[in-house]
Every structure is written in C-alpha cells, then in structure tokens.
Amino acid sequence: MKYFSAIIGLVILFPEYSVAQINSPADDPLRVIAIFAHPDDADFKMGGTAALMAEAGHKVKFISITNGNAGHHEKGGGVLAKIRRAEAEEAARRLGIEEYEVWDNNDAMLTPDLHIRMDIIRAIREWNADVVIGLRPNDYHPDHRNAGKLVIDASYMVIVPNVVSDTEPLRNNPVFLYMQDRFSKPNPFSHDVAVSIDESIDVKVEGLDAHQSQVYEWMPWTMGILGDVPNMANIDARKEWLRKTYLSREISDEQRQALIKYYSERRAMSFQHAESFEIAEYGTIPTEEQIRIIFPMLPN
C-alpha cells in the first residue's frame, strides 16, 4: 500500500512522471549508476546483476569515490592508484558496462565532506540517473560507511535547483537502492529484491579476476591465505580459486525467500548464486512494475 501511495503522489506532483522510468524517456535505455568507496566494491556486491542489466540494454556506470591507493600490503600511493584504475577499466570491459570512473580521493581517508557530496550530486545529474545504487552507511570499513552516507545524502538534493546550481537538476528523484551486506547492527539488510545471477556468474568471475591486485594479493594477505593462491601462470586455477574463495557462500534463508517472491519456488530453490538489493526510503519508491524494469532479468 505504501508503494501505491508513493507512486500516486509522484504522479500528482510530477505529471510527466513515467510509471516505467524516472528521468530518461520511456523509449530510451534505463540509466543506472552505482557509487561506492573502492574499485572492486560493486564488482563483488552486484557484478552479476550489472552484467545482466547491461546485457538487457541498460546503461550502467560505476563510480569509485576513492582511488584505492591504500589497499595493498606492498604497493601504495600513486603507483597503486594507477594499477587499480587500469583494473577497473578492464573490469568494465569484461562486465559489459558503459563506464567505470575512479575518482582521485585517497583510500582509507574518505569522509562525508560537502564537496564530495556535491560531486556525487553532479555525477548523478550528469548521468540522468533513473536508478542510483550505493552502500549502506553501516559497515566494517569507514570508507564504505561514509560512501553510503554521501550517496544517500545526495538523494532528493539531486532535484533541488539551488544545490550544485552549475548542473541542471533532475526532474524526479531516482530510485535509490543499497547493495547487500552482512551487517546486522543497527539494523540488518533487507532483501527487498533478489536476483539470480547463475547465468552471469562466469562474467562476474571474469570481472573480479580483472582486479588482480585485490583478489589475488591484498585480500588473501589480509586473510592469511596468500600462500594458497595459485601461480599467476595458471589462469584457470586462479579463477577457480577466486570462485571458491569469494563466491561460494550459500544463499541465506532471507535471500531465498526474496528469490521465491520473484521466481517460482521450484526455480528459486535451485539457484546457486544471487545478489540482493534494499530499497532506500529516501528515493522514489518503485512499483512492482518498475522493479521488473530496473531488473529485467526477473520473470514477469
């Protein structure tokens, strides 16, 4: 009922509002932008969904607010930032998305400063976004927390003409979504929409494989398993190790229930890999019809 009321309110306030899309014309591709803290954040959390969106014709852009220049045990600074920017560009090519932009803010130093919020508002407007996807503002990493706050603080502001007045405001507030996380305090993640990525899991592996400095070096070092990583000459073994190490977590009961909502129970029980999204209440609340347009891989 709250979804229905919200959509009726938007139609009254904005007569040009389309039930199908928020800002781009109904006959144009949907425009999706994911904004996060580090190069590879979105690849882990929604790489499979991004690939399916792009395959369906959506225009998908990734933005990393920091350059990742602290995320390594041997390299750092400008050298590491250059490596990670190149990895992100390669990941974009493999996922099939339009752009992967890496901003030049220092890793591990991100704070929710006003000038960065202004940059995010500007980026969302310039993309003419229908959908904005970010991190929740409760997470183990301060950069993740602050990236989440920066993105959600940009919601609504993107339609205010006197805010960031050098860039034309959006006609309507986009749908804002959170990427999945495992944290339960102060409140657990809500699996509002769950997507099976079984058909794109191989593409997700390829995208993550592009982040060599992270998946085969930095993260294994932090976990104390660097010695388990297959030699770089054995490409197939490395990708299989990546799959087992990072992508073998079982689907939770909560996520399985969300899959059942959008797929038949028989299909939902057979899925091996899924990605979930929570609807952020500060953006436009999508109707069920809009959810299926945002996620065209969901059955009608």
**pLDDT per residue over 210-265, tens digit each?**
999 999 999 999 999 999 999 999 999 999 999 999 999 999 999 999 999 999 99
Count of domains observed in the chain:
1
pLDDT for residue 19 is more than 50: no
The helix/strand count (H/E) of the chain reads as: 12, 7
pLDDT for residue 78 is more than 70: yes
pLDDT for residue 20 is more than 80: no
Strands 193-196 and 175-179: unpaired
Minimal CA–CA distance to 118: which of 166, 85, 68? Answer: 166
Percent share of the chain, pLDDT over 90: 91
CA dist 53 and 49 (Å) reads 6
| Residue with more model confidence, 9 or 144 | 144
pLDDT tens digits, one per residue of 37-75: 999 999 999 999 999 999 999 999 999 999 999 999 999
Is the residue at 154 inside a domain?
yes
Residue 265 CA to its chain's centroid (Å): 26
pLDDT for residue 8 is more than 70: no
Is the residue at 206 inside a domain?
no
| Identity of residue 217 | E
Cβ partners under 8 Å of residue 27, min gap 6? none
User: The domain containing residue 192 runs over which residues?
Assistant: 2-196+275-294
pLDDT of residue 13: 41
- The strand pairing partners of 66, in sequence order, are 105
Is the residue at 242 inside a domain?
no
Is the residue at 222 inside a domain?
no
Cα separations in angstroms, 233 against 16, 36, 67, 230, 240? 56, 32, 27, 8, 13
pLDDT for residue 18 is more than 70: no
CA dist 133 and 81 (Å) reads 23
CA dist 30 and 259 (Å) reads 23
Of the given ranges (2-11, 82-91, 128-137, 262-271), which has the lowest mean pLDDT? Answer: 2-11
- The strand pairing partners of 278, in sequence order, are 178
pLDDT for residue 17 is more than 50: no
CATH number for the domain including 135?
3.40.50.10320
Is the residue at 60 inside a domain?
yes
Is the residue at 151 inside a domain?
yes
Is the residue at 237 inside a domain?
no
Q: Which residues of 180-194 are buried (b: 16+ CB within 10 A; e: fewer)?
A: bbeeeeeeebebbbb
For the residues 101-112, what does the mean pLDDT come to? 98
CA dist 34 and 229 (Å) reads 30
CA atoms within 13 A on the CB side of 195: 27
pLDDT of residue 7: 39
Cβ partners under 8 Å of residue 150, min gap 6? 35, 65, 112, 116, 117, 120
| Residue 99 structure tokens | 């752009």
Is the residue at 262 inside a domain?
no
